Amino acid sequence: MNQTQIQSTEQWESGFSLSDTDLEQIYNHFLETEKPQTAAELAGLVIRSRVREQASELRRLMADSTIYQPQRSYTVGEEVIFPALKLAKGKVIQVRPGYNPEYGDFNVITVNIKGKPREFVADYTPAHALNNSNGGALTEQIAGDAEVIQAAHGATVAARIAASLAKRDDFISIGQEWFVKSLMSDVNIGHLHLTEAILDMSDGGPLTTAEILPQLDLDPGIDPGVQEFSLTYHLLRDGRFDDVAGEGSAHWFLRRMEPDSVQTTPDRLVYQPVAFDRGLLSPQQIALEQELDDEWSDLPPAAPTTPIILALSYPHRWAGTLPINSRTQVLFDTGHSPRRRIVFIDDETNESIVGWVVAEGRYVVGLSNWYKDNMIPVGGFLHLRPGPEPGTVLLGYDRRRSQREWVRLAAVKDNKLQFELMRRSIPCAYDDLLIVGTDVVAAVDAHAKRATSMQLSVGALLSEVFPSLAGLTPQNTVHAKTLYSAINMLRRVPPGPIFAELTRNPAFKSVGDHYWQYE
């Protein structure tokens, strides 16, 4: 047995697994506390238990051994154990006198430890730490310090415990908390129907679990924390209910009473994946793709910045939404719940606007009226910051006196989307390469549905919008950003497939700086 194995990194990192004894200890702990426990709390329990077992075993092994202390006398042939040397054990093979002018007379013993002779002081009367506790303090050190072990390896142990409990039917979890199924409060289908009625009377919610519980008449003899855990467990598994809060206590909402754009992805935001060869994209095009930061480009999370600045695209302006992209995902917790209710706060007026995070669709809905009231155009720059409280986001833009600017406006002519330049009043900063708009939204929508039904390729879409866009400039060129913005009036497409088609298709010719001509 390696007496100090419990202190090693290998023991807790690569070598740790939950034993039957550990499982019994965890189960008994739940029986005693009758409360849910986090994986971290269970890790502390297991670590402390193993350290106690190690200390007990060490004390048993040392009970019949001579513990080395400098003050003692020893005889040849006597077996001695050395706590300070990781409980090394050896046999005394020689005793000889020793002297030091500072410490006086003493003896020196030679001990054979694993075939090698080593010398130690004996009959040493001056004060020495090893004389104080008969080796007991050192034994405890060798057994391990549970707090130190948990600080260093608690996260790994907690993860292993969670993985082990997840394979067992008798343990259940909600978030980071675990509990024993047999100890849960009885929540039946009647309680769930009553919860639906309670939320219905509250306009769908949100209500916390604690607000719902008093109306359900659960067993009062069961701990309130267990009641809350039990109800939460069943609500999470019933499709009628959504936990629309972020981390922390659950807030419940009736799924059927959530806004339509939460229950169903708005048409303009639906992306049907387009296969393309990323190898066709140049480093400059990849950089532009990152700048546009389309949520369907699947970019890795960007480095956090404050504020987060993004240019509003046509699909999101049309749907009254924001993208959950590589920059904004830090603001919108998408891992806790598939649909989450948040509050936007206008950083100028302090107006509160209810929004909904729809993780699967990669969008946040709720800003249609705010866009309209503030006349935010496609390409307008928005500013986002964390709000003063969890679940809030500060929203703003560069407010300025409205100026009449030249804007690309689309209309449907000869079954094609065609553009012309018109002056429009713009009250904010914007990206002039992205700005597009239309005065005939219904006609453009109908044409977009036609393009979708015909399953037009990216090349066909480029061929449709390119000529009229090119006609707006003396050079007959169009920037890749503008093409991306215009095509997204017809079909939801991220930049990658568009850039690849421009490179692949000989009808399009690059003239530098992301400008293209159509031949």
pLDDT tens digits along 256-286: 999 999 999 999 999 999 999 999 999 999 9
Q: How far is CA 412 from CA 438, 443, 445, 460, 476, in A?
A: 10, 7, 10, 16, 21
Neighbouring CB atoms inside 10 A of 369's CB total 10
Please give the Cα distance from 142 to 84 (Å, whole number).
Answer: 8
Q: Which residues pair with 396 in a beta bridge?
A: 383
Per residue in 85-120, pLDDT (tens digit) is: 777 888 999 999 999 988 889 999 999 998 999 999
Query: Looking at residue 319, what DSSP letter applies?
Result: H
Those residues of the chain that have pLDDT short of 50 are 1-4
Q: What is the pLDDT of residue 264?
A: 94
**Cβ-based neighbours of 21, under 8 Å, separated by 6 or more:** 49
Rounded Cα gap, residues 508 and 519, in angstroms: 6
pLDDT at residue 8 in the model: 60
Instruction: Give 467: exposed, middle or buried? Use CB within 10 Å, 0-12, 13-18, 19+.
Output: middle
- Please classify residue 472 by burial: count the beta carbons closer than 10 Å to its beta carbon, then call 0-12 exposed, 13-18 middle and 19+ buried: middle
* Pairing outcome for strands 515-518 and 508-512: antiparallel
pLDDT score at 47? 86
Query: What are the residues facing 357 on neighbouring strands?
Result: 340, 364
Total-model pTM: 0.75
Helical axes 480-487 vs 283-292, angle rounded to 10°: 50
> How far apart are alpha carbons 12 and 53 in whole angstroms?
15
Q: Which pair of tokens denotes residue 355? A: 């929004």
Asked if residues 377 and 317 have their Cβ atoms less than 8 Å apart, the reply is yes
Task: Determine whether 511 is exposed, middle or buried from the number of CB atoms within 10 Å of its CB (0-12, 13-18, 19+).
Answer: exposed
Contact of 408 with 436, CB cutoff 8 Å = yes
d(CA 183, CA 30): 8
pLDDT of residue 63: 66
Domains of the chain: 5-61+144-175 (no CATH), 70-133 (2.30.30), 184-253 (1.10.10)
Residues 6+ apart with CB under 8 A from 33: none
Q: Which residue has the tokens 């833009």?
A: 397
**CB contact set of 213 (below 8 Å; sequence gap of 6+):** 224, 227, 228, 231
Distance CA 372, CA 378 (A): 11
Distances (CA, A) of 462 to 438, 453, 466: 18, 17, 6
Say if residue 178 is exposed, middle or buried (CB neighbours under 10 Å; 0-12, 13-18, 19+). Answer: buried
SS3 377: coil
Residue 176 CA to residue 89 CA, distance in Å, equals 45
Which residues have a Cβ under 8 Å from the Cβ of 380 and sit 6 or more positions away? 311, 312, 397, 426, 428, 429, 430, 435
- Output phi, psi for 79, to 5 deg: -90, 135
pLDDT given for residue 3 in this prediction:
40
